[in-house]
């Protein structure tokens, strides 16, 4: 699905938009004064991998060391407690 973006927004974030097009396969309709003038889309579809290829890739990663869990706990301790989420209205 295409996302709409104004010429001004595209000019201000061109590098980010191009990365999204290249790496995520996103498509943009560029508008000027509310009218579509162009489409920005990948030249070729983004490379996809199978679930098996993903698992094979994950097996090549080094194992997490004992310090990783400590780092995660330190980060969690530094985060402010946001409390319980509000309840949904009936």
In this structure, what CATH number is given to the domain that contains residue 21?
3.40.1620.10
Handedness of CA 26, 30, 35, 36 (dihedral sign): negative
pLDDT > 80? residue 45: no
70 lies in some domain: no
Model-level pTM? 0.51
Neighbour tally for 16: CB within 10 Å: 10
Residue 76 has a pLDDT of: 84
Q: Which domain does 34 fall in, by range?
A: 2-40
In a domain? residue 89: no
Number of domains in the chain: 1
Residue 13 has pLDDT above 90, yes or no: yes
pLDDT at 83: 72
Residue 33, domain member (yes or no):
yes
Residue 68 lies in a domain: no
Q: Is the pLDDT of residue 36 over 90?
A: yes
Dihedral over alpha carbons 59, 61, 65, 71 (to 10 degrees): -120
Is residue 71, in this structure, part of any structural domain at all? no
Say if 67 falls within a structural domain. no
Residue 19 lies in a domain: yes
Whether residue 14 is contained in a domain is answered as yes
């Amino acid at each position: 699905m295409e996302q709409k973006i104004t010429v001004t927004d595209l000019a201000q974030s061109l590098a980010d938009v191009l990365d999204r097009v290249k790496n995520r396969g996103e498509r943009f309709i560029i508008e000027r004064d509310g009218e579509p003038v162009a489409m920005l889309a990948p030249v070729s579809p983004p490379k996809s991998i199978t679930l098996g290829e993903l698992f094979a890739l994950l097996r090549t990663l080094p194992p997490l060391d004992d310090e990783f869990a400590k780092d995660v706990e330190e980060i969690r301790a530094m985060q402010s407690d946001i409390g319980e989420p509000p309840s949904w209205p009936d």
